[in-house]
């Protein structure tokens, strides 16, 4: 009977999105050492 629960349900945690992005980046990006150096500069 509580419809408020469904309406006020908080958005899902960004964990899935972060993991998905990480997987995609690791698949299409060069070895970690390279992009780590680029990020450091």
How many domains does the structure of the chain reveal?
1
What does the alpha-carbon distance between residue 29 and residue 14 come to, in Å, rounded to a whole number? 22
Write out the residue range of the structural domain in which residue 20 sits. 13-40
Q: How confident is the model at residue 19 (pLDDT cuts 50, 70, 90)?
A: confident
For the chain, the average pLDDT equals 64
What does the alpha-carbon distance between residue 26 and residue 23 come to, in Å, rounded to a whole number? 5
In the structure encoding, which two tokens stand for residue 39, read together?
A: 């990020």
Q: Let me know if residue 22 belongs to a domain.
A: yes
Give the mean model confidence (pLDDT) for residues 5-28: 66
Decide if pLDDT at 15 tops 70: yes
Q: Let me know if residue 8 belongs to a domain.
A: no
3-class secondary structure, 40: helix
Give the mean model confidence (pLDDT) for residues 34-40: 62
Q: Strands (DSSP E) along the chain, which ranges?
A: none
- The whole-model pTM stands at 0.26
Q: Let me know if residue 29 belongs to a domain.
A: yes
Q: Name the most confidently modeled range: 2-11, 14-23, 32-41.
A: 14-23
């Amino acid at each position: 009977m509580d419809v408020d629960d469904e309406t006020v349900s908080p958005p899902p945690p960004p964990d899935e999105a972060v993991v998905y992005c990480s997987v995609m980046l690791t698949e299409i990006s060069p070895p970690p050492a390279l992009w780590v150096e680029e990020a450091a500069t």
